[in-house]
Structure 1
């Protein structure tokens, strides 16, 4: 997926950051998810995996996505075995967002895969990938910023805001998030 040059399209004045075909795919996706995904019963994880795969997501057969979760652009979503995207999660995947095996993203968490260049007068969009490692847990209402890697087995506490990488098997909390201690490995 390529991002349009802000100098040519002027997003500061309402111009697009993505091509027409990209925006049309997101429009169709939004309609399909709204009609067939969001209204599906909670246990119908297989149905929602199917819908996401049809639109290009890479999802393991045992991954679970709750109906109220919001996935901005399915081709940029990659979910490992037994990973979970909980209720009302915002997966703003302007760039790739990967959830490793057994990773949990709890209710109301926000994964934000893009930002803008603060020094660019044209407000250029800059997509940055996010990786949530195997057995990591992003707790309720936490925010994971663009380009952040949450290491294997790491825990990001409820309502924490992280804008830099979290090491493997570390517990972080707060706003801004800071390391609290190491987590017991399992």
Structure 2
């Protein structure tokens, strides 16, 4: 996936940020998800995993994703064992978004792997990957920005906003996200 030069395409004036092939793939993807998955009941995770894989996502056989979730570009999504993306979550996968094993992104959250260069007069699109570590939790209505790594076992509290990395086994809350306390490590039990 290559990002077009905003100066050449005049994206600030409505021109494209991605080439035609990329835009067509996303259009076909959006139509397929709308018709075949967006309305499906929660237990149909296997069907939604299958559809995401057909469009290039790397999804483990135990990952769960809901029909009301929006995945912008499936080839940039990777979900480990028992990873979850909750209902009505926007997975703005302009760059890689990786959820390791047992990572949870709760409902109505935003994973934003793209932004614009605000100092560029052409408002050039920029992307950076998001990495959500093993056993990390992004709570409901939280926002994770481009280039953020959420460490293993870290928690971003409900409504929290993270535009910087979160340390492992640490709880964060607020806007911008600030350390609240350490989280007890859970190295035993399922998935260890």
Residue 105 of structure 1 is matched in structure 2 by: 105
Residue 122 of structure 1 is matched in structure 2 by: 122
**Root mean square deviation, CA, Å:** 0.5
Which deviations, in whole Å up to 9, do the C-alpha atoms of 1:127-167 show, x marking residues without a partner?
Answer: 11000000000000000011100000000000001100001
Which deviations, in whole Å up to 9, do the C-alpha atoms of 1:25-83 show, x marking residues without a partner?
Answer: 00000000001011112100000000000000000000000111110000000000000
* Runs of 4+ residues deviating >2 angstroms: none
1:76 paired with 2:76, answer yes
Distance, in Å, in 2 between the alignment partners of 1:131 and 1:10 is: 31
State the SS of the aligned residue for 2:178.
strand
Distance, in Å, in 2 between the alignment partners of 1:41 and 1:182 is: 36
Distance, in Å, in 2 between the alignment partners of 1:45 and 1:59 is: 11
Distance, in Å, in 2 between the alignment partners of 1:62 and 1:6 is: 40
**Length-normalised TM-score, structure 2:** 0.96
Residue 135 of structure 2 is matched in structure 1 by: 135
Residue 162 of structure 1 is matched in structure 2 by: 162
1:52 paired with 2:27, answer no
Unaligned 5+ segments in structure 2 are 187-192
Distance, in Å, in 1 between the alignment partners of 2:41 and 2:161 is: 31
Residue 8 of structure 1 is matched in structure 2 by: 8
Distance, in Å, in 2 between the alignment partners of 1:79 and 1:40 is: 20
Unaligned 5+ segments in structure 1 are none
**Length-normalised TM-score, structure 1:** 0.99
Residue 22 of structure 1 is matched in structure 2 by: 22
